[in-house]
């Protein structure tokens, strides 16, 4: 029986930064409308609003009330402000966070110049901090993933739902937001595939779904989801026990809980299964271009990071081809492996003396 969902009361849209009286805000509203008309994603529009509002608040504190007053030295000063800024816990902003706050400035002032609100673009030569490409720090092994999946059984219906979520994360490598937005009509259990609609960059893609993941999703849809669903049922696949679509933090907390319950001391949540899936497929011989298509990377260089994480194949090739190894084939007429490092040193010393004499 489908329950009825209580009507939600919409909260007033309070302006977080209280910058309405600053004239730059009026230009910001027009810019955000311009982005929406050009079909930028709501998430992109929201993020640009937040980060540009932070900049306007910084300007307001320094009595800068018009976009015509913003100069390149001011933007450089704002960049230094972000570099020296400290959060509530005393930590600095990461390089990625600094870039996230600076990048919208280039688009905003480019638009102001294009619309003839400014005679020149002060952000045209604004350089972003250099970001170093980091390798995924933690990858789960196949054995660890099995431990995580098996311990969900002790949680009853919720555990069944959680296993279906984790199986899907590991099988498809979906991003967290893609998992949350997944609808029933996006999943084709008969053919073992699912459709990601408007993923990163508002791009659709078809992703294969493994047999094991299909089996657990089907069991969840048949046995658990009808108990959670409430009218109006919008068709979201993974629901909370209150019949609502999961939010990002809730899904991450759920995954973290199961990783910790399995006794695995590795940080991460949903995204660690994406990294693990790509690494395991690469180690088992999958072509990197197919992995790129599954993950939804627009450029191959983003996927190539997993070739550096996958050390298993490198070790095999290194052991097979590098000449400096302790054992060699008997047919090469070489000695057996020494029983100790000291014996190895003695053999090497004897060989050197024979060559000298």
Establish whether 72 is a catalytic residue: no
What's the chain's average pLDDT?
A: 85
Establish whether 325 is a catalytic residue: no
Establish whether 132 is a catalytic residue: no
pLDDT digits (tens, 9 = 90+) for 119-141: 999 999 999 888 777 667 788 99
Per-residue pLDDT band at 16 (split at 50, 70, 90): very low
Per-residue pLDDT band at 17 (split at 50, 70, 90): very low
| Range in 123-137, 201-215, 277-291, 323-337 with the lowest mean pLDDT | 323-337
Dig out the tokens for 303 from the structure.
Answer: 């996927």
Annotation: CATH topology of 23-114: DNA polymerase; domain 1 (1.10.150)
Establish whether 117 is a catalytic residue: no
Per-residue pLDDT band at 12 (split at 50, 70, 90): very low
Q: Which of 49, 175, 258, 280 is catalytic?
A: 175
Establish whether 200 is a catalytic residue: yes
Asked whether the beta carbons of 138 and 272 are under 8 A apart, the reply is yes
The predicted structure's pLDDT at residue 351 = 55
Residue that wins the pLDDT comparison between 318 and 346 = 318
pLDDT digits (tens, 9 = 90+) for 183-202: 999 999 999 999 998 888 77
Which pTM does this prediction carry? 0.70
The predicted structure's pLDDT at residue 342 = 56
Dihedral angle of Cα 7, 12, 16, 22, to the nearest 10 degrees: 150
Percent of the chain with pLDDT over 90: 59
The predicted structure's pLDDT at residue 350 = 62
Q: Which of 27, 220, 228, 306 is catalytic?
A: 306
CA–CA dist 296, 194 (Å, integer): 13
Number of H helices, E strands in the chain: 16, 5
Domain 23-114 and domain 142-312, same fold? Reply is: no
Q: Which of 205, 256, 257, 297 is catalytic?
A: 297
In the chain, what are the domain boundaries? 23-114, 142-312
Residue that wins the pLDDT comparison between 159 and 321 = 159
Full strand arrangement of the beta sheet holding 193-196: 187-188, 193-196, 205-208
Annotation: CATH topology of 142-312: hpI Integrase; Chain A (1.10.443)
- With 0-12 / 13-18 / 19 or more C-beta atoms within 10 angstroms meaning exposed / middle / buried, residue 325 is exposed
Establish whether 306 is a catalytic residue: yes
Rg, Å, the chain Cα set: 28
Q: Which of 101, 161, 274, 280 is catalytic?
A: 274
Mean pLDDT of 31-48: 92
CA–CA dist 47, 163 (Å, integer): 32
Q: Which of 54, 106, 200, 256 is catalytic?
A: 200
């Amino acid at each position: 029986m489908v329950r009825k969902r209580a009507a939600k009361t919409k909260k007033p849209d309070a302006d977080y930064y209280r910058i309405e009286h600053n004239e730059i805000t009026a230009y910001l509203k027009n810019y955000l409308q311009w982005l929406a008309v050009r079909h930028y994603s709501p998430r992109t529009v929201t993020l640009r609003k937040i980060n540009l509002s932070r900049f306007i608040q910084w300007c307001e504190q320094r009595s800068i009330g018009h976009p015509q007053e913003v100069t390149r030295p001011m933007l450089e000063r704002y960049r230094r402000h972000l570099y020296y800024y400290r959060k509530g816990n005393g930590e600095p902003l990461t390089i990625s966070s600094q870039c996230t706050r600076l990048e919208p400035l280039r688009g905003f002032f480019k638009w102001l110049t294009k619309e003839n609100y400014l005679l020149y673009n002060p952000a045209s030569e604004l350089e972003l901090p250099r970001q170093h490409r980091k390798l995924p720090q933690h990858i789960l092994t196949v054995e660890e993933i099995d431990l995580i999946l098996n311990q969900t059984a002790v949680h009853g219906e919720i555990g069944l739902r959680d296993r279906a979520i984790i199986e899907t994360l590991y099988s498809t490598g979906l991003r967290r937001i893609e998992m949350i937005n997944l609808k029933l009509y996006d999943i084709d259990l008969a053919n073992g595939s699912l459709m990601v609609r408007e993923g990163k960059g508002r791009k659709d893609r078809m992703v294969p779904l493994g047999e094991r993941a299909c089996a657990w999703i089907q069991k969840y849809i048949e046995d658990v989801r009808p108990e959670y669903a409430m009218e109006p049922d919008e068709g979201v696949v993974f629901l909370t026990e209150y019949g609502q679509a999961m939010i990002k933090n809730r899904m991450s907390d759920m995954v973290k809980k199961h990783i910790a319950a399995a006794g695995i001391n590795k940080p991460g949540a949903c995204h660690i299964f994406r990294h693990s899936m790509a690494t395991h497929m690469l180690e088992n011989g999958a072509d990197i271009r197919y992995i790129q298509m599954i993950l939804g990377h627009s450029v191959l260089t983003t996927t190539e990071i997993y070739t550096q994480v996958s050390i298993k194949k490198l070790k095999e090739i290194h052991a097979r081809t590098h000449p400096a190894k302790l054992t060699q084939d008997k047919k090469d007429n070489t000695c057996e492996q020494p029983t100790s490092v000291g014996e190895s040193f003695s053999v090497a010393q004897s060989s050197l003396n024979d060559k000298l004499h």
